[in-house]
Structure 1
Amino acid sequence: MVLQNDICKVNISIDTTYTVESTDNKPYDLVINPRHLRHNDMYKTFSIQIDLFSKTISIALIGDFYSYDKDCAVLEDEILTILQNNAIVQLNINDGTMIYFKEFDCFGCNYGIYRVQNGYIIYGEIEIIMLDFNFNKKWSFSGKDTFVFMSEKKAFELCENSIKLHDFEGNFYEIDFSGKLKSEG
């Protein structure tokens, strides 16, 4: 995933070679492990490169094994907000330090985080979650099956005034940003 603003360019990918507690890892400027995961735990490592145009900071962020890098982050001014399944990590892009970490309750895996007017939408396998700006859960919405679709239809589509969803059985849902069902089919 690549994000950019006037301050920096951020590249997030998965480092499949990283091993917690090993001396054979590729070098990073910072290693952040907010859950204190160990070598024998199931984990995934995000390789985060922050290019500030005058210097580059490389960060290994260790988190949940069921973390996905496609839509995993939001860049707002000097704050990088990263989703690692059921946890949020915020980094200061100027020095790479962790400024916030919070876990939240959810069902299934989470695939993406998106900034909206009232907070953040989390696209999950089983539920769509709305978090406020303090990452407290405001509401969640679930369908009849998982929000993973195996055809040309998108399982998740964030629109200007609503969220459109297709579940695995082909059911359609449209919800507003209050979590209320607008239409179903």
Structure 2
Amino acid sequence: MTFEIGKYQVELLDDSDYNPDSNDNLNKYLKNYLTESDFELPTKIGIKILENGTELNSVIIGAEGGATGLHKTSQIVDSNRIVICCSDSVFCLDLPTLNLNWKTKVDMAAAYEILKIENGFIIHGELEITRIDSDGKIVWQNGGADIFVSRNGNEDFEVKDNFVKATDWDNRIYKWNLNGVEIE
């Protein structure tokens, strides 16, 4: 995936085969924000900043938990930062330096989607729906009776001006206001 942000191009790469101990990686990165783990990280995302086709900065990020991927709602890219889901965490990186502003573990398993709201973000996780503020601090987290993934593959997660709605595996619907209080 590539985004145009002012004079920069931001390139996101699924680089889950990246091995920090190998010289044979397809891509090289100037920075490394891989979570230390005794296990192989299931998702690694490469981020490159280019200007007129010339690479200025690059970073590899990765976290523990379940595997996630890159898609239209797995990240938010704006003029001065990228906020991106990767496994069980959300990373916030400064643009164009790719310095790590913060990293927050937002789910016990996987963080699938991030949506911007006033003064923060809502994250659709496998086990929890989480609200974080603009500095990555958890405001609230709510779970359900089962995972927040639908059996039929429908998009069963939405964020509106004043509520969050999620559906679990058994088609139970959960609805919270933006303060995390269940409303239906």
Q: TM-score, normalization: structure 1?
A: 0.81
Q: Deviations over 1:3-47 (max 9, x none)?
A: 44334332323114321210111242423134345xx63113212
**CA 1:104–1:120 in structure 2 vs 1: closer, same or farther (change >3 Å)?**
same
> Contact 1:29–1:57 (CA<8 Å) still a contact in 2?
no
**Unaligned stretches of 5+ residues in structure 2:** none
Q: Specify the alignment match of 1:23 in structure 2.
A: 23
> Contact 1:45–1:61 (CA<8 Å) still a contact in 2?
yes
Pairing 1:26-175 to 2, within 5 Å after superposition: 26-36=26-36, 41-43=39-41, 44-53=43-52, 55-57=54-56, 59-65=58-64, 66-68=66-68, 69-70=70-71, 71-96=73-98, 98-104=99-105, 106-151=107-152, 153-175=154-176
Q: Deviations over 1:69-117 (max 9, x none)?
A: 2233222222112222333333232233x23233336333211222210
One-letter amino acid of the structure 2 residue matched with residue 182 of structure 1? I
One-letter amino acid of the structure 1 residue matched with residue 33 of structure 2? N
> Contact 1:3–1:10 (CA<8 Å) still a contact in 2?
yes
Q: Deviations over 1:133-168 (max 9, x none)?
A: 221111112222111002263231222332221111
**CA 1:55–1:32 in structure 2 vs 1: closer, same or farther (change >3 Å)?**
same
Distance in 2 between residues matched to 1:105 and 1:75, nearest whole Å: 19
One-letter amino acid of the structure 2 residue matched with residue 173 of structure 1? Y
One-letter amino acid of the structure 2 residue matched with residue 117 of structure 1? E
Query: In terms of mean alpha carbon deviation, does 153-162 or 53-62 score higher?
Result: 53-62
Q: Specify the alignment match of 1:6 in structure 2.
A: 6
Percent of counterpart pairs with the same letter?
Answer: 21
**CA 1:56–1:136 in structure 2 vs 1: closer, same or farther (change >3 Å)?**
same
3-state secondary structure, aligned to 1:182: coil
Post-superposition, which runs of at least 4 consecutive aligned residues in structure 1 deviate over 4 A? none
> Contact 1:4–1:75 (CA<8 Å) still a contact in 2?
no
**Unaligned stretches of 5+ residues in structure 1:** none
3-state secondary structure, aligned to 2:183: strand
Query: In terms of mean alpha carbon deviation, does 99-108 or 111-120 score higher?
Result: 99-108
**CA 1:145–1:36 in structure 2 vs 1: closer, same or farther (change >3 Å)?**
closer
How far the C-alpha of 1:2 sits from its partner, in A, is: 4.3
Distance in 2 between residues matched to 1:138 and 1:159, nearest whole Å: 17
